[in-house]
């Protein structure tokens, strides 16, 4: 995962002395500066990947909680009537063909590939076939296009129907598989943006960042995303360890309760 995603997950409110992110694992919330990192690339290759990572960092939620993507789109371009896509969930969408969609797609592909190839940090929740992993690797290196039926997409989880604010803006989660097999759905989150990999019938080729004729960023309320809704419930059920983690989790729960009643 990129270093900037960990930085964006820190607490910048000034409410706590320690700003380190809260890591949730096995039902325990712990405030820690530890990052998942592993030496996998030479210097030249690392610099090549960094260019795509830096580009995506400009589109993600920033440290002041504003969405960087809004600097590159116009509000009137957002399709507000909704699109019945991604498992029947109604979304809004905004065209982003004027952005460097290939860089966004290469970034997503590189994270999925590295998550599968990592040896020091095994991510058991990600289930990809070897052929899919090799296709991602070759695409991330710019050596080959993605095969038919394999698409990469961008989701923006927001708080309300017509806002670009996000209670999940500081959330980071590693690649995970929601649906395995030929018709698969996989995702990870960095800087408040969700990057998805779909295969087979789960793919919408027209909207694909890598090969689509009309790539769009899809905008959904975060509660309509099962992985984030489950994450919200998991946060409420965690056992905080340490003063910082307890305070942060309690504040997150108060914010969520306030949003539910507003």
Q: Note whether residue 168 is domain-resident.
A: yes
Closest by CA to 101, choosing from 59, 62, 133, 41, is 59
Q: Note whether residue 10 is domain-resident.
A: yes
Two structure tokens written together for 213:
């004729």
pLDDT (0 to 100) of residue 60: 95
| Distances in whole angstroms, Cα of residue 80 to Cα of each of 35, 162, 181 | 38, 8, 33
Residue 73 banded pLDDT, cuts 50, 70, 90: confident
Q: Note whether residue 32 is domain-resident.
A: no
How much of the chain exceeds pLDDT 90, in percent? 38
pLDDT (0 to 100) of residue 231: 78
Question: How many residues appear in the chain?
Answer: 262
Q: Note whether residue 62 is domain-resident.
A: yes
Q: Note whether residue 22 is domain-resident.
A: yes
Query: Count of domains in the chain?
Result: 1
Print the domain residue range for 174. Answer: 3-27+41-261
Residue 257 banded pLDDT, cuts 50, 70, 90: low
Residues 6+ apart with CB under 8 A from 120: 38
Angle ∠(156,221,210) on CA atoms, nearest 5: 30
Determine how β-strand 193-199 pairs with β-strand 150-158. Answer: antiparallel
Q: Look up the pTM and report it.
A: 0.83
Q: Note whether residue 35 is domain-resident.
A: no
Mean pLDDT estimate for the chain: 83
pLDDT digits (tens, 9 = 90+) for 213-239: 989 998 888 888 888 888 777 777 777
Owner of token pair 């960092």: 57
Instruction: Please tell me the distance from the alpha carbon of residue 116 to that of residue 177, in angstroms, as a whole number.
Output: 11
Q: Note whether residue 61 is domain-resident.
A: yes
Q: Note whether residue 34 is domain-resident.
A: no
């Amino acid at each position: 995962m990129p270093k900037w995603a960990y930085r964006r997950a820190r607490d910048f409110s000034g409410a706590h002395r320690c700003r380190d992110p809260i890591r949730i694992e096995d039902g325990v919330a712990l405030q820690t500066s530890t990052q998942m990192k592993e030496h996998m690339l030479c210097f030249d290759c690392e610099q090549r990947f960094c260019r795509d990572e830096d580009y995506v960092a400009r589109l993600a939620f920033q440290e002041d909680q504003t969405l960087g993507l809004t600097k590159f789109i116009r509000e009137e371009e957002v399709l507000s009537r909704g699109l019945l896509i991604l498992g029947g969930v109604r979304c809004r969408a905004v065209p982003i063909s004027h952005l460097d969609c290939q860089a966004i797609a290469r970034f997503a592909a590189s994270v999925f590939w590295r998550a599968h190839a990592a040896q020091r940090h095994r991510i058991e929740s990600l289930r990809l076939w070897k052929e899919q992993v090799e296709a991602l690797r070759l695409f991330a290196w710019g050596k080959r296009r993605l095969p038919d039926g394999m698409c990469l997409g961008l989701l923006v989880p927001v708080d309300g129907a017509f806002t670009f604010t996000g209670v999940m803006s500081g959330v980071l989660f590693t690649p995970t598989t929601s649906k395995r097999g030929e018709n698969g759905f996989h995702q990870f989150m960095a800087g408040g943006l969700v990057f998805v990999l779909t295969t087979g019938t789960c793919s919408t080729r027209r909207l694909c960042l890598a090969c689509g004729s009309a790539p769009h960023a899809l905008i959904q309320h975060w509660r309509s995303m099962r992985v984030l809704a489950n994450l919200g419930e998991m946060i409420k059920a965690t056992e905080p360890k340490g003063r910082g983690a307890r305070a942060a989790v309690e504040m997150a729960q108060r914010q969520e309760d306030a949003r539910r009643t507003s």
